[in-house]
Amino acid sequence: MGRTFVKDMTHGNELKLLAGFSVPMLIGNLFQQVYNMVDSIVVGKYVGADALAAVGATGSLTFLFFSLCIGLTGGIGIVISQHFGAGDDTNVRRTIFNSIYIILTSGIVMSLLGVLLARPVLTFLRTPANILDDATAYMQIASGGIIAVAAYNCISSILRALGDSKTPLIFLIFASLVNVQLDLVLVINFGLGVKGVAYATIIAQVLSAAASLTFALRKNPFFAIHREEMHFDKKIAVKCIRLGVPLAFQSSLIAVSCVALQSVVNTFGSTVVAAFTATSRIEQLVQQPFNSLGMALSTFTGQNMGAGKLDRVKRALIRCVFVIAGFSLMMLILFYAFGNGIMKIFVSDPDVISFGTQALRITSWFYFSLGMIYIIRGLLNGAGDAIYSMINGCVEVFGRITFSNTLVLIPSVGKWGVWLSTALTWFITGVASLIRYRQGKWKSIRVVDK
């Protein structure tokens, strides 16, 4: 079988392979962040600070409903990467076919839950009354498109597991450009406010999912599934779910911790909510190099674990540590020098800009810890360490809830406790991740037969 749009990462220089794989993903992730950034810029500039706060108030909650589908796609990717590394093409194709059942079911269920529970949950989280209606509308529309998000993420996860990080990039760029145009048209020309932003994002996701699936069916050899492989395989499905559910649980716990933090943020009023929204958008952008490197290391680990090459995995991690250290230092310098100007891109309100600038200077000291989370998480997820996923999620819940509800009560800290909570949570999670890696249990995990 031809290996067009497929990359074997079990041979060759580790850093060169990781760089070649992660750079397209970094570009793609940056374009993906354009969804959120353009939403924030358009809403903040053309609708107002309250509308920006409404979009921001739903971020963690929407991610909570997305997390199950995203986690399951991660489990699918791990199984495929290890089968690929082991040279088992038949089970690669069987896993791709069985992913249809998993994603359709989870996507439909989470879409329904998101639409039905939007207002009750936002009310429970003490969302300010002046932004509740807009926040509810935004979340309901976004939740209605979860199935499209799940489909796109599943296809991207499969392609990355097979070593192809360039194809998902193409369709992310396409979707981002569509999203930008629709944001401007629906918000400015049609005056749809936050609803227009939500519709723009969902339409872009649907188009991206459809285009990437069409391309994969025509060009990727592993999507040419044989008739005898087109059946539900309980063993494969259980394996994907067994790995995917802990990843989903990890994402859900992280989302729950973010929702809990958002509820604390909401008590300080719409100005602080808007500042928190803007800094969160900026930090999501900062995280993309870490995220891309972690995803590259996950695929690299999966393929090499399938091939039984643990030494390559350990060498790759060491090289990644040096990369994140250098990038973290660059970001620290950048936010101290230009934080005010960066905040002005997102919002015009002087109070919001002032809050956000100082907040960026607080959290930037902890970016190295954040980077360690991403690369160790990528390695352990690629190895199939499901227990780590639970540990990671639990530590983040403990950190964000404990720190946020404690620090804000200290008079000299107050609202700054919101951002300190995030920073300290990164630190303790990074330490927990390093401890788990050093324990070495990931080395003996068997996802597929070697």
Under 8 Å CB-to-CB from 258, ≥6 apart: which residues? Answer: 59, 60, 63, 400
The DSSP element (H or E) to which 129 belongs, if any, is helix 129-144
Q: What is the structure's pLDDT at 427?
A: 96
Q: What is the structure's pLDDT at 36?
A: 64
Q: What is the structure's pLDDT at 446?
A: 74
Cα-based torsion angle of the residue sequence 371, 377, 380, 381 in order, rounded to the nearest 10 degrees: -140
Measured from the Cβ of residue 450, the count of other Cβ atoms closer than 10 Å reads: 13
pLDDT averaged over 10-residue windows placed end to end, the chain, 450 residues: 69 90 83 68 78 78 78 89 88 91 88 90 86 90 87 88 86 84 87 86 86 87 88 88 85 78 83 84 88 91 89 94 95 91 83 88 94 94 86 88 89 87 94 93 77
Distance of alpha carbon 421 from alpha carbon 203, whole angstroms: 35
Distance of alpha carbon 413 from alpha carbon 421, whole angstroms: 11
Q: What angle, rounded to 10 degrees, do the helices at 59-85 and 234-266 form?
A: 150
Distance of alpha carbon 74 from alpha carbon 103, whole angstroms: 11
Distance of alpha carbon 297 from alpha carbon 187, whole angstroms: 39
Tokens describing residue 275: 């500042």
Q: What is the structure's pLDDT at 326?
A: 95
Distance of alpha carbon 47 from alpha carbon 40, whole angstroms: 10
Tokens describing residue 443: 């080395």
Cα-based torsion angle of the residue sequence 78, 24, 422, 138 in order, rounded to the nearest 10 degrees: -90
